[in-house]
Amino acid sequence: MVVRAHSSAAGALALLSEPDIVFKQHALKALNQLVPQFWAEISEHIALIESLYEFEELPKEVRDIAALLASKVYYYLGEYDEALSFALDAGNAFQAETRTYDAKEYVETVVSKAIDRYIHLCSNEASSGSKIEARLQFIIETIFQRCIDEGEYKQAIGIALESRRLDIISQIYNLTGDVSLLSYAMEIVLDTGFSLSYRDQVLNFLSPLFPLPSQANSTHMLALARLHVTLNNPSITVSLLSSLVPKEKLVAYQFAFDLVEGGARDFLEGVRKDLPQGKDETKEILENLRNILGGEETVKLYLEFLKRNNKVDMLILKHSKDVLEPRSSIYHTALTLQNAFMHAGTTSDIFLREHLEWLGMATNWAKFSTTAALGVIHKGYFQQGMTILGPYLPQTGIESQIQGAMYSEGGALYALGMINAYGGGQTVDYLREALRSSQNEVVQHGAALGLGIAGMGSRNTDAYDDLRETLFSDSAVAGEAAGYAMGLIMLGSASQARAEEMITYARETQHEKIIRGVAMGLSFVFYGRQEEADDTIRLLLAEKDPILRYGGVYTLALAYAGTSNNDAVRRLLHIAVSDTSDDVRRAAVISLAFLLFKNPGQVPRIVQLLSESYNPHVRCGATLALGIACAGTGMQDAVQILEPMTKDGVDFVRQGAFIALGMILVQQSESTPSMASTRALYAKVISDKHEDPMARFGAALGQGLIDAGGRNVTISLQSRAGTRNTSAIVGMTLFCQFWYWYPLAHCACLAFEPTAIIGLNEDLKVPKFEFVSNARPSLFAYPAPATPPKKETAAKMVTAVLSTTAKVKAREKKKAAADQESMDTDEKVEVRKDTDVEMKTEEAPSSSRRKSEPASEKLANFSRVTPIQLGYVSFPSDGRYQPVRPVTSNTLIPKGTKGASSQPTKKGLVSERYAGGGGILILVDERPVEEAEFIELQPPAPPGGGPTGGAVPNGHADVADRQLHIDLSSNTEADPPEPFEVRDDLPIVNND
């Protein structure tokens, strides 16, 4: 029997008006089935259906069906809030509907609205104390239980975090015992823009749930380190470290090294001070922990790695020097920055020693940058910082009489700050004294910048007061640097009193340089403070002065750095297309990188349209946004946007594209697409004398960045544990100010992160051992050295020959040929045959000797391991040394027998570098009875008495050799001619 299809709901609707309850119930059930088809017709009787739900004389079952029918009608009308309200009133009828397959879409929509309302009410309950109705609570509890029953724990955790139901997280962890779920909860609350107060509440809740790390269970150490660094609470960290000593001292050492990777200076100093002194066996361990937390051990080990593995190609630098005119200040600065970046942290000054004449051509601010470059090259070499820069530093109480000495003195103070960027100590006091004692604005400028970098985040009130005095002197040059430095000293303090003081002075002064310095200083004050900075951001963005709005944009970017906050991204995009100032629009686009660097895959999609803007400043901002956010990833989506921009019609857009390509392709394999073409493009642009100076400047910087740190560093705004890399974010922010002030470009070195595996044993010594990289050696090998250009021989001119001479030569040639025919030619033919055979035998062995490349390679301690390569690294199970924690949380499994026979996937390129791992590893000695071999670290050179003469080996600076001291005030120009008279009475002699 065929069921007749309904053409209308009129019959069932008519039954609703019948007085008999049985008819009403039958009508409601029938209409529930007809709603998807006749909802428009039924909606005309919605008032009657609602009245049936409210009619108390009807049985509960009938009223529930009426409420469910009303909910469905409102759902089809698009009134989802009303649909949810009636669904809650439907009670058991709605619960039965959830088990009906045909109503799946309706149920999912209502449930999602229920979750949204629950989250909203929970947020309001936390602030206003309002209660949540029991029916909604019942539905949410049902959802939680269903997720747990079906094993969808991450969904339940996500809803629990949004609705502030932390008890659900504890319930799930107690049920599963899965630590990765705790790590997932922590990552959500850190990376999705929750408020600071709620973030700290969640982290404090999760902290005791994490099990104590041990050698047997250390997979969550990086997550735990990230939690403690973000909480920034020394007492909790001290409690954890104390519980690990002495039984798990290796784990404690590893945890301390991981804390140093991302911890703020005041947090690490607080942990050091609060650690107990210990007794007997624990005293030495706790003292070692204090030394590690000081940061000097980490810096010393990375410095040794950079010195040992320096692979700078000097031919690239020599080529740039040969084609860039040294007497042009912009070209001299470009080569200075290129050399500084390529040798950053290597302590190799061989290029400077071999080109003293070029070095002496620097004048004024180019001399300042040249001297400051020594700080980049020797960054982290704090034991010998004063010795290296001694000849250039100002003498206390003595005003130098050498012309131009103030520029080298200011640059030296700036360099001293960069050398001690990871721990000021006595350097801060020295720079404060230099700032107070000098009356020269150039020297004050260098001292203020150095003081800001060396004391970054220290919140030293005495240093802040000295800088404020310099600012109030109203010197444009010194005041600008003081504004930057005041913000750096108070980094992340969110001090409203100091912010108001800085804003007031910025409004009063007439110097644009000072306004810009103060505006940027404000952005540093509110670094990482999220909603606490909202009032100041709103105030700055409403200012009439575009420079203060410029500072407001960076304040917004740094306050929400790394959070991917949707509201912040939306505001920046609005500013990028609407502000009247080109500088502000450019800054807004660049600032997107600081918000989204944890999700670099999103950035190309967001800035794609901006890169095609009619405004060249917006296009320039798009280039740097791609470079900073996608730095070190080799992301081809970003490269494909940038490559056409290297041919842009505006010089500073091309400049930005060249710089961004260098950042993205740093430490990428030579087999990476675009790598070879980008290197060739740099060489071509730098060599082209007809190219715009700004584009050549950008190409030189890009060439320095792509080979930064002797090809042993990457650029990363995120630490290995996943926390924000504060010094890198600050360094890149200052680097972006090179648009106004070239010396600030040196600060890019603060974002350079060495990529190494450095193993230490329980005595913190460096043993000799090997680990395996399960990839073809060529996949992650250093680039091949550049080949010197071939010498072109001048073509000889054709000599004109008279016709009579040609006839004579032809007759002689014909006669010689006739004589030759009478001679025996067998010997000549034999020689020709021998030659042919010999050529064939040379080719045969070359093909037979060709061997296939191995599928893996062994690497020694202190070897370079790129972020992508970490996924291929393993420690042999039968090896003597094993790391306390995993090398990385993600491992790439080689396909087949060929190891890493292809490039990692696009996902791998982006995610691997954030997987954590690498760096300094504490090793467990599986065979402690056997005698171990150790790597001898190079001791610091003595202040004097070292050998002199000869070139310093590449990668090892001998600070005792003072040949590097160049008289930067020397003038290489020829002396003017002697006075002479012009006489008109002498005859003019024509030599033609």
State the DSSP string of 472-508. Answer: HTT-HHHHHHHHHHHHHHTTT---HHHHHHHHHHHHH
pLDDT band at 398; cut points 50, 70, 90 = low
Q: Quick one: pLDDT at residue 653?
A: 94
DSSP alpha helix (H) spans, 560-668 = 566-578, 582-596, 603-607, 616-629, 636-645, 651-664
Q: Quick one: pLDDT at residue 841?
A: 36
502-513 mean pLDDT: 92
Say yes or no to pLDDT of 901 above 60.
Answer: no
Rounded-to-integer distance, Cα 32 and Cα 211, Å: 52
Q: Quick one: pLDDT at residue 380?
A: 87
pLDDT band at 21; cut points 50, 70, 90 = confident
Q: pLDDT higher for 390 or 802?
A: 390
Q: pLDDT higher for 856 or 398?
A: 856
Q: pLDDT higher for 970 or 626?
A: 626
Percent of the chain at pLDDT exceeding 90: 37
Q: pLDDT higher for 362 or 849?
A: 362
Rounded-to-integer distance, Cα 635 and Cα 638, Å: 6
At 403-459, the pLDDT tens digits run 678 898 999 999 999 998 876 668 888 899 989 988 889 999 999 999 999 989 888
Q: Which residues pair with 984 in a beta bridge?
A: none
Average model confidence (pLDDT) for the chain?
82
Say yes or no to pLDDT of 663 above 60.
Answer: yes
CA quadruple 809, 813, 815, 818: dihedral, nearest 10: -170
Q: Quick one: pLDDT at residue 603?
A: 92
Say yes or no to pLDDT of 838 above 50.
Answer: no
Say yes or no to pLDDT of 972 above 50.
Answer: no
Other Cβ atoms within 10 Å of 327 Cβ, number = 12
Q: Quick one: pLDDT at residue 947?
A: 32
- Nearest C-alpha neighbor of 447 from the set 503, 387, 393, 384: 393
Burial (CB count <10 Å: 0-12, 13-18, 19+), residue 171: middle
Q: Quick one: pLDDT at residue 721?
A: 78
Other Cβ atoms within 10 Å of 665 Cβ, number = 27
765-771 mean pLDDT: 91
Amino acid at 325: E
Q: Quick one: pLDDT at residue 327?
A: 83
Other Cβ atoms within 10 Å of 485 Cβ, number = 34
Percent of the chain at pLDDT exceeding 70: 83
Say yes or no to pLDDT of 902 above 50.
Answer: no
CB 132, CB 88: distance < 8 Å: no
Task: Write the DSSP symbol of residue 193.
Answer: T
Q: Quick one: pLDDT at residue 798?
A: 55
| CB neighbour list of residue 844: distance below 8 Å, 6 or more residues apart | none
Report pTM: 0.84
At 642-654, the pLDDT tens digits run 999 999 989 999 9
At 552-572, the pLDDT tens digits run 999 999 999 988 889 999 999
Q: Which of 42-56, 908-922, 966-980 has the lowest mean pLDDT?
A: 966-980
Domains and CATH numbers, the chain: 8-150 (1.25.40), 211-294 (no CATH), 309-362+599-753 (1.25.10.10), 755-782+854-891+914-927 (no CATH)
Say yes or no to pLDDT of 7 above 90.
Answer: no
Q: Quick one: pLDDT at residue 797?
A: 55
Task: Write the DSSP symbol of residue 534.
Answer: H
Rounded-to-integer distance, Cα 204 and Cα 492, Å: 21
Q: Quick one: pLDDT at residue 6?
A: 65
737-750 mean pLDDT: 93
Q: Tokens in use for 687?
A: 């060599």
> 95-109, 599-613, 883-897, 949-963 — which one is most confidently predicted on average?
599-613
| CB neighbour list of residue 40: distance below 8 Å, 6 or more residues apart | 76
| CB neighbour list of residue 349: distance below 8 Å, 6 or more residues apart | 343, 374, 377, 952, 957, 964
Say yes or no to pLDDT of 971 above 60.
Answer: no
What separation in angstroms does the CA of 661 have from each of 87, 376, 591, 594, 910? 55, 21, 18, 17, 16
Rounded-to-integer distance, Cα 695 and Cα 720, Å: 34
Q: Quick one: pLDDT at residue 960?
A: 39
Say yes or no to pLDDT of 799 above 90.
Answer: no
270-275 mean pLDDT: 89
323-344 mean pLDDT: 91
Q: Quick one: pLDDT at residue 712?
A: 92
Q: pLDDT higher for 911 or 303?
A: 303
pLDDT band at 826; cut points 50, 70, 90 = very low
CB 266, CB 233: distance < 8 Å: no
Residue 425, helix vs strand vs coil: coil
Q: Quick one: pLDDT at residue 977?
A: 56
Peptide bond into 246 cis (omega under 30): yes
What's the residue count for the chain? 992
At 677-732, the pLDDT tens digits run 999 999 999 998 988 999 999 999 999 999 999 999 999 898 887 888 899 999 99
At 180-198, the pLDDT tens digits run 999 999 988 888 778 888 8
Q: Which of 512-526, 573-587, 659-673, 960-974 has the lowest mean pLDDT?
A: 960-974
At 138-185, the pLDDT tens digits run 888 888 888 898 888 999 999 899 888 899 999 999 999 889 999 999
What separation in angstroms does the CA of 976 have from each of 50, 328, 499, 972, 979? 103, 21, 54, 12, 9
Q: What b/e string do you get for 728-748 counting C-beta neighbours within 10 Å, with b at 16 or more?
A: bbbbbbbbbbbbebbbbbbbb
